Amino acid sequence: MTVRYLSGDPLLTQSAYLAFGYNARARSEVGALETALLTRYPAAFASYKRASRKGRIKAGTYWLWSDSQPKLLFLAVRLSNVGATRLRYVQAVLLALARDYRQEGITSLAIARVGNAHEWAEIRRLIDIWLNPIALPVVVYEEYLPNVRADEGF
């Protein structure tokens, strides 16, 4: 299935799962989307932080929160909130998603843009490599536009 790229608010997704990049140490991040996610899903972030403190979160893995709609996938693509997004962590997370999405019951996936503008071209290439070949509907929000619903085509 082809990955679709669009602009809008990933918080308004119709996908069953919403994935976003975060850090493995569960330190608060200050971006507009991260702040909106934290405000909307405080229990998910508190649970992620507990799991991180217990050593259950490693960079290059994902962590699933299923008590919300959409369900949340924390993609641990950085070691800390001040660290850079590492391509090896992004690739490891995407490989795990491509391998395990059926086992996890993921039926559709929206991904908020991971990394910054300088990293995005390479991260987009990795998304295409790992998620285009699988039979999972995937939309990637390249640009965060608060309160703008995108036509995901689901």
- Domain locations along the chain: 4-144
| pLDDT tens, position by position, 81-136 | 767 788 999 999 999 999 999 999 999 999 999 988 888 999 999 999 999 999 99
| Closest to 108 measured CA to CA, from 65, 70, 147 | 70
Residue 40 reports pLDDT greater than 90: yes
> Would you say 144 and 50 are in contact if contact means Cβ atoms under 8 Å apart?
no
> What is the mean pLDDT of the segment spanning 19-28?
86
Query: Which CATH code fits 4-144?
Result: 3.40.220.10
Residue with tokens 């699988």: 134
pTM above 0.85, yes or no: yes
Residues 6+ apart with CB under 8 A from 36: 11, 146
